[in-house]
A and B are shown apart, each in its own frame.
Chain A
């Protein structure tokens, strides 16, 4: 059954309302349910909505939302863009994003790692960006290797689309290695804990030659790249070097901006125009935003998995502000907190560190074993009130971050 656009929009509303209801009843985030209902009542929704739309998909463990925002900004210099800017990245969210703007002739969509295959099949995208794959939410058993294999399978039936891939990550190279239309980017690979064994044959990978890798048993190795990110310089054999700039903090955001720049170049947008668009991307759904709370300036950061936490802690290494860390372990965060021991918190050792969140005692124990002196508080407000500085950095995992944002909006409404 093929639905008319109007009935389709109604179906999306029903699906998302069911998701919202499920969320209100405390049965999880409701996003997956919305997708299932939509697939049931309108199985062709995504392909119908994407007719005549140039779509670009972004998937990764980390950096999806930010890179999607940057890519949207870049493509908005040439297209009318629809996007799922709130990180609603499963089937229901994609449909909602596509349905939200009738005038759009382009869609830039962040896609959950597990939903990439469905999205490629039903949206027939012009390009996809693959940034990285690492461990995330252990209790959901999305083993990194099986995700990489599923991506590889999904790509094997879509040979026309252009794949822009960070092949510094062996898992990404494994997923794209047989695709005929790959733009290879080397972003460097600061996180290799999930890729110490060859994704093709499980033998150890040899990283001894610096930023590249090679399997110690089979043929698998890092290929040569069309683009190489060197610090903040994006180098390319045939083009002049481009200096990447983003107002967002951290080396990982330079990487995200580099990927968005490459997308721009591949879509025929001049690098200068792409960079200008990227430099206007500031806070994204509250991340990287500075807010006033308890009489102090608070920078809001979110990290959702070990690779994201490690990158954030590295970024804060040379900072002197007090740090509040908030850890929850709800469904959306992953209920298993053992990943805390995959993160080295010791770079925060000389700082004033405060621990909070529902799992503050797990965090506190971890910090003790890493030799990081800290105090533990029941709430983020108490942490901020106890800070001696005028400026505080808050880092929370997903639901801890969302609950701080709610607190901020309540505080500013008063």
Chain B
């Protein structure tokens, strides 16, 4: 079995607007709770991107830093090499967008991405998507409802492949498609932060379990499990309440709160 799970946190200084470094911390913590050694390698802007990590965590950010991140990542090449050998990727919001074919910023409507995912992101004509999001994940994953908070203007269209799941509450990739994120054998991408793995420990364990040679035993920390399920129950109920209210108000497409 792999001696230590190496988790690369990519550019938290550029792409870390929504507590995204929490995702890397949670992956490491949940590995350690099962006595699996784990190490978080923080790659700040300007550092070389290691290409031998097991999991790459990429978060969300503002337009300028997003542009800087894609420029640095393209020049460095580490992410593309890691992707080529099928390392695991967790990509949220702007992190999801930069892995795609192209995305929009305030300066440009067609910025080339790293072209690793079949997704194109354009600026939305409608208002920004801000609020609780609830996703019914792809059944093949065998994980519970995905709960999170989204905050993005971009509309991401999948050119092929599967999304992470169907949107039950909120917007997700686009106003029209009612799906969120992207899913493949080595990628979990989503617009949901919170951060995502705090709200959805099942996804964290799924990503860890995909690392070759990792065997996950039962979680040792009962207290943490209780708090997480109480939080999930509370947030999922809140999302459904918002959905009911929006239906009543006829504001489904305006999605707020």
Chain A residues engaging chain B, CB cutoff 8 angstroms: 135, 138-139, 141, 143-145, 193, 196-197, 202-204, 216, 335-342, 361-362, 364-366, 368-369, 376
- A337-B149, A369-B25 known, 5 other contacts, Cβ within 8 Å: A197-B68, A338-B22, A340-B19, A361-B227, A361-B230
A197-B65, A364-B231 known; A341 vs B21 contact (CB < 8 Å): yes
Query: A206 — nearest CB in chain B belongs to which residue?
Result: B46
A145-B64, A197-B14, A365-B227 known; A139 vs B195 contact (CB < 8 Å): no
Please classify the interface of chain B as helix (H, G, I), strand (E, B), loop, or mixed, using the class held by over half of its residues: mixed
* Inter-subunit contact A341/B62 (CB<8 Å): no
Query: What is the CB-to-nearest-CB distance from B158 to chain A, in angstroms, rounded to a whole number?
Result: 25
Give the interface residue-count category, chain B: 35 or more
Query: What is the CB-to-nearest-CB distance from A216 to chain B, in angstroms, rounded to a whole number?
Result: 7
A341 CA / B230 CA spacing, docked (Å): 18
A366: B residues at CB distance < 8 A: 22, 198
Query: A335 — nearest CB in chain B belongs to which residue?
Result: B257
* Inter-subunit contact A135/B22 (CB<8 Å): no
The interface centre, meaning the residue of A145, A338, A366, A369 with most chain B CB atoms within 10 A of its CB, is A338
Q: Does B26 contact A (CB under 8 A)?
A: yes
* Inter-subunit contact A342/B13 (CB<8 Å): no
A204-B45, A341-B21 known; A365 vs B14 contact (CB < 8 Å): no
* Inter-subunit contact A196/B198 (CB<8 Å): no
- 10 pairs from A and B in contact (CB 8 Å cutoff): A138-B151, A139-B151, A196-B13, A202-B67, A341-B21, A361-B228, A365-B231, A366-B198, A368-B221, A368-B228
A361 CA / B221 CA spacing, docked (Å): 15
* Inter-subunit contact A193/B22 (CB<8 Å): no
A338-B22, A369-B22 known; A135 vs B17 contact (CB < 8 Å): yes
* Inter-subunit contact B62/A335 (CB<8 Å): no
Q: Which of B14, B46, B195 contacts A341 (CB 8 A)?
A: B195
A340-B19, A365-B231, A369-B29 known; A196 vs B62 contact (CB < 8 Å): no
A368 CA / B33 CA spacing, docked (Å): 11
Query: What is the CB-to-nearest-CB distance from A341 to chain B, in angstroms, rounded to a whole number?
Result: 3
Interface mask (B101-125 → A, CB under 8 Å = 1, otherwise 0)? 0000000000000000000000000
A336-B18, A341-B195 known; A362 vs B223 contact (CB < 8 Å): no
* Inter-subunit contact A193/B13 (CB<8 Å): yes
